[in-house]
Each structure stands twice: as structure tokens, then as C-alpha cells.
Structure 1
Amino acid sequence: MDAFILSDISRVLAALALVLFAAIISRWQAVNLERQMLIATARAFVQLIAIGFALDLIFAADHPLAIFLIIAVMVSIAGYTSGKRATGVPQAHRVALTAISIGASLTLGLLIGLRIFQFTAQETIPIAGMVIGNSMNVCTLVMRRIQDEIEAKRAEIEAALALGATGRQAVAPYLKIALQSGMTPIIDSTKTVGLIQLPGAMTGMILAGASPLEAVQLQIIVMYMLIGAAAFTGLAAAWFTHRQFISPNHQLQRDF
């Protein structure tokens, strides 16, 4: 057991050499990212070790309340992070938290309700992490793109409102652009999966000793669920974000 642990530590230290090499290049080329690289590396190490011990306990207990608690923490952190990135959107944190909660709840509910995954800690929590992480990225992209589009097209939107269009009608073209922006990365990734890259879930299973066909089956499910999560979250983010810029009287807000 001790030899196994020492072997794992040596592999981690060997992989760390790649980060140090990248930091040296950053320093050499005056990119000034070496400090952020090292901080990110240290944070990732501490956070992953901590979650590893926590998941050991949660998997052993396998209690529904523990599962819900972990998912709630994940959603809260994702909502805060996404809202922080879209600071120009009024009530950004509330919008992000709501959109991510909707996307994650619908996706996980369908996956468990259709018996694709069992409601156990060992299956639900890792899947929830992938769903929520993907939902966070989509939410951020949609919120920021809507803000940019409304700022750039203010005159056109106000003209449409003056001619009698509702708030939703006036911004509808820009909501479509924002949804396209948010969903394009996951769609492009799905188109090229297996041709350019072997994604994380599939690679992890193969490295753990599973057969390639078993790994492929899981990866197909993962890609499909991420597209669904992106759609749910993107629609919710677009709906709640545009309402922050349009008043109940169908007027464009001035204070943003």
C-alpha cells in the first residue's frame, strides 16, 4: 500500500514538471502568467485532495441528503462564479444561480428518472459535477453575449419598442445570437469527439482498465447529457437575463 501511494506521488510530481516548464516559458517570454499558473496548480491540488477525502466519506455513507448537499454547494459556487464573470448584467448572481439550477435539475432529473444513472452518491455526484460545470460555462457565455448585444444594439431595440414591439420581440434576434454563442462550443466538441480528442470520461475509463467499447458507451451518454444541459441552461439564462434589461412596461433600462 505504501509503495502504491509513493508511486502515485512520484507520478504527480513528474506531471508537475510540465507546469514548471510552462511557467519558465511564461517568465522567459514576459507573458507574466507564471504566478497565476503556480497559484492555480496549488489550488487545484489542495481542492482535489480535499474533495477526494470528502467523496470517500460521502460514497461510504451514500445518503440522499449528502448527495443533495454536495449538489447544492456545486450549484451555489457555479452560480457565484458565473455571476461574477457577467458583472454587467443586473442581478447577475441571482440570474446565474437560477439558470444553472434549472439546467442542472432538469438534466439530472431526466438522467435519473429514465434510469440512465442510479441515484447513488458514486454515480450522481460525478455526473452532477460535469453537468453543473458545463452549465456554468454556457450560462456565462449567454449572459455576457446578451449584455454585449443589447449595449451594441440599443438604438435598434429602442426603435422597435417605440414602434410597439414587446421587450421579448425587440431583443429576440439577440437572444438567438447569445444562445448560438453559448451552445456552439459543446456542439463543436460533440461533432469532433473521437476524431480530434478522446474526452475525459472515456480516457479515464480506458486508463482505469475498462474496454474501449464500454468507455465509448459512457462517453456518448455524457456528450448527449451535456448538450441537453447546455440547452436547458442557455434558454433559462437568456430568458432571465433579458428581463433584467427590459422593464415591465417594455422599456429598455437605462442604468447598465
Structure 2
Amino acid sequence: MSNNLTVSNLSLVIAALGMLLAIGISAKEKLGLHKDIIYSVCRAIIQLTIVGYVLKGVFHVANIWLTLALSLIIIVNASWNSYQRNGKQKQGFLYSFVAIFCSTTFTIGLLVLSGSIKPIAQQLVPITGMVASNSMVAIGLAFRSMRTQYKQQEQQVNEMLALGATAAQASKAIIRESIKTAMQPTIDSAKTVGLVALPGMMSGLIFAGVDPVYAIKYQIMVVFMLLSATSLGSVIAIYLSYRSYFTDRLQLKVPR
């Protein structure tokens, strides 16, 4: 199967008409989103262009330490973004970093040991980005859910503390619901993969001319990988951070 995929500058200009449509809808419906659309698109173009040249250089050098450094930068950026969703809570960045680092390295380590991917830049960097970004979203959802539930269940938690419960016992339901909220989008996505959506890796391999059956094997691997990363990352992040909602005297610090 030959690879006939070509993206010219003219193709990009034509594709940009979709952005103009979005801006037109925002203006007509008075949504006030046209400035955000323009800013986000311009930012995406700049970021992707820079990343493209950086990856080209990293792939050309083919140095394992440079590859690991770039992977670490991806994890740090993902940790920072999930930390922002935690209301910039004390030590929130550390909790996010530990969770994303552990979930990403564990998952990718299994893939490397199994021979599914090789420890080279062309494979390690994209997979790291895929795993870390999904862990980031899941952990961000977990943090947001936890903050909301502590606000909503302030009275129940205080009552349990007054009856002698520990922070873990008073937070058990909140912890469980936060982890469930974080994992649910990945689970829902796994249910519809192939029927509703042809995900990125599978579509990319097919575009590149790979046998669809072979591409499906890689996509199944990705499903396993994302479920592993999001579940492990969510559990680590929540169990590390829930205790920060309590003082040393087991008083609930309600987030505002």
C-alpha cells in the first residue's frame, strides 16, 4: 500500500475555512468566542511549528538522554496543567507530577519490556505525550471533583470527624467518587472505539499506509495503555492530595 498523504500550504488554507466558519458563528450568535478562537489557533500554530522542528532535531540526533529529557518536559508540562485545575493547592504540583510520572513511566515501561515499542525518540516521545496528556485530563477531573465534593459535603465530613473518624474514613466516599469521575471518560471512550470514532494512532497508521488489521492491534494496545495510566494516575493523585484538605488537628479546610 503506497503512502499518498500530502499536505500542501494550499490544503492548510482551505482547511482554515472551518476556523472562519467558527468565528462567523460566534459573531452571529454573539457568543464572544471569536477572540479566543483566533488566539487559540495562532497559539496552536506557533506551538506545533516549534515542536515540529524540535522533534526533527531530536529524531536526527537519536540520543536516549535527549529523548528522556524531552519526555520529562512533557510530563512536567502535563503536571503543571493538572495542578492549575486543583486550585493551585499547596504541594498540588508535586502531587500531580508524582502521579503523572508514575503512571506514564509504569505504562511505557511495560510497553518497552513487551517489545511493543522501542526506546527510540520516534516512538517514545509521541507515546509519552499520549499517555501523559490522558493522565493530565483524568487527574484534572479528579481534582475538580474532589474540590466540589468537599464543598458540597462539608457538613457530612465534619460530622464524621466529630464522631471520631479519621481523614481517610471521612473522605472515603469522596475519594471513591473522584477516582470514578476521572476514569469514566476513558472507559466511555473504550466502549465506542471503532464504532463511533477511529482514534488518532489507528487513523495515523492507516493514513501512513499500514494494514488496518495491524493498526487495530496498536489501537487495542493504546486502549489498555490509557486505562492503565488514567486509573493509576488518578489513584495516586487523589490519595496524595486528599489529606491536604485537613489540618493537623483533623479540621476540614473547605476550598473556596
- State if a TM-score over 0.5 links the two structures: yes
Correspondence 1:20-31 to 2 at 5 A: 20-31=20-31
TM-score by length of structure 2 reads 0.93
Whether 1:92 aligns to 2:92 is: yes
> How far apart are 1:95 and its partner, in Å?
2.2
Partner of 2:43: 43
Shift of the 53–254 alpha-carbon distance from structure 1 to 2, 3 Å rule, reads closer
* Corresponding residue of 2:193: 193
**Mapping of residues 39-188 of structure 1, within 5 Å:** 39-87=39-87, 89-188=89-188
Taking the aligned partners of 2:16 and 2:78, their CA distance within structure 1 comes to 27
Deviations 1:214-233, CA, capped at 9 Å, x for gaps: 21111111111001000111
For 1:9 and 1:169, locate their aligned partners in 2 and report how far apart those are by CA, in whole Å: 59
CA distance in 1, matches of 2:182, 2:81: 16
Residue 98 of structure 1 aligns to a residue in which SS? helix
Is contact 1:143–1:178 with CA below 8 Å preserved after alignment? yes
Is the 2:154–2:254 Cα contact (8 Å) retained in structure 1? Answer: no
Structure 2 unaligned blocks of 5 or more: none
> Aligned partner of 1:72: which letter?
L
Question: Are positions 1:234 and 2:228 aligned together?
Answer: no
Task: Report the equivalent of 1:203.
Answer: 203
Identical aligned residues as a percent = 29
Give deviations 1:177-200, integer Å, cap 9, x for gaps. 111111100100000101111111
Whole-Å separation in 1 of the counterparts to 2:88 and 2:155: 19
Query: Could you tell me how far apart the structure 2 residues matched to 1:37 and 1:20 are?
Result: 9
Deviation at 1:88, TM superposition (A): 5.9
Deviation per residue, 1:198-243 (Å, 9 max, x gap) = 1111111111211211211111111110010001110011111202
Q: Residues 179 and 7 of structure 1: is their aligned pair in 2 closer, same or farther, counting only changes over 3 Å? A: closer
Please say if residues 95 and 241 of structure 1, whose CA atoms lie closer than 8 Å, have aligned partners that are also in contact. Answer: yes
User: Residues 144 and 224 from structure 1, CA distance in 2 versus in 1: closer, same or farther, beyond 3 angstroms?
Assistant: same
The 2-side partners of 1:255 and 1:227 are apart by: 29
**AA aligned opposite 2:208:** A
- Structure 1 unaligned regions, length at least 5: none
Distance 1:239 1:222 in 2: 26
Residue 102 of structure 1 and its aligned partner are, at CA, apart by 1.8
Shift of 1:248: 4.3
Measure how far apart 1:101 and its partner are.
Answer: 1.6
Partners in 1 of 2:86 and 2:255 — Cα distance? Answer: 15
**Matching residue's letter, 1:132:** A
Calculate the aligned-residue CA RMSD, in Å: 1.9
Cα distance between partner residues in 1 of 2:91 and 2:22: 38
DSSP-derived class of the 1:78 partner: helix
2:150/2:255 contact within 8 Å kept: no
Distance of 1:110 and 1:136 partners within structure 2: 20
Whole-angstrom CA distance in 2 between matches of 1:13 and 1:67: 33
